[in-house]
Chains A and B, each alone.
Chain A
Amino acid sequence: MAVRGRRRPGAELSLPAPSALELDRRAFRARRSRRSTLVALGSTLVFAVVAYLVITRSPGWPRVQSTFFSLDNARAAFPDILRGLWLNVQVLVIGGLCVVVLGLGLAVLRTLRGPAFAPLRLLATGYVDVFRGMPLIITLYLVGFGLPALRLQGVPTSPFILGTAAIVLTYSAYVAEVFRAGIESVHPSQRAAARSLGLTHRQMMRIVVLPQAVRNVTPALLNDFVALQKDVGLISVLGAIDAVRAAQIEVGQTFNFTPYVVAGLLFVLLAVPSARIADTVSARARRRQQSGSVL
Chain B
Amino acid sequence: MSPVAGGPVLDVRGVVKTFGENVVLRGVDLSVDEHRVVALIGGSGSGKSTLLRCASLLEQVDDGQVLLDGEDITDPQVDADAVRRRLGVVFQAYNLFPHLTVLDNVTLAPVRVHGRSRSEATDEARELLDRIGLADKAGEYPDRLSGGQQQRVAIVRALAVRPRVLLLDEITSALDPELVGEVLRLVREVATQGMTIVMATHEMGFAKQVADTVCFLDQGVVLESGPPAQVLGDPVEPRTRQFLSRIIDAGRL
A interface with B by C-beta (< 8 Å): 1-5, 8, 10-11, 13, 15-16, 18-19, 21-22, 25, 28-29, 32, 292-295
Contacts and interface: CB of A to CB of B under 8 A. Distances in A.
Given A3-B43, A25-B75, A25-B76, A15 B59 contact: no
Given A3-B44, A13-B23, A28 B219 contact: no
A32 B78 CA distance: 13
Given A3-B43, A292-B53, A29 B63 contact: no
B76 A8 contact: no
B205 to A, nearest CB: 16
A15 B26 contact: yes
Contacts of B58: 292, 294-295
A2 B250 contact: yes
A32 B65 contact: no
B77 interface: yes
B45 A25 contact: no
Contacts of A13: 23, 26, 219
5 contacts: A13-B26, A13-B219, A18-B63, A25-B74, A32-B76
A2 B74 CA distance: 35
B23 A294 contact: no
Interface of B: 14, 16, 18, 22-23, 26-27, 43-45, 53, 57-60, 62-65, 74-77, 80, 218-219, 243, 246, 249-250
Contacts of B45: 3, 8
Contacts of A8: 43, 45, 218-219
Contacts, number: 60
Nearest to B45: A8
Given A1-B250, A28-B77, A21 B65 contact: yes
Contacts of B60: 293-294
Given A5-B44, A32-B76, A293 B59 contact: yes
A55 to B, nearest CB: 41
A19 B26 contact: no
A71 B74 CA distance: 57
A11 B219 CA distance: 6
A279 to B, nearest CB: 25
Contact of B76 (A1, A4, A29): A29
A15 B18 contact: yes
A19 B44 contact: no
B240 to A, nearest CB: 13
Closest 10 CB pairs of A and B: A3-B43, A22-B63, A4-B44, A28-B76, A292-B58, A1-B250, A29-B76, A18-B63, A10-B219, A25-B76
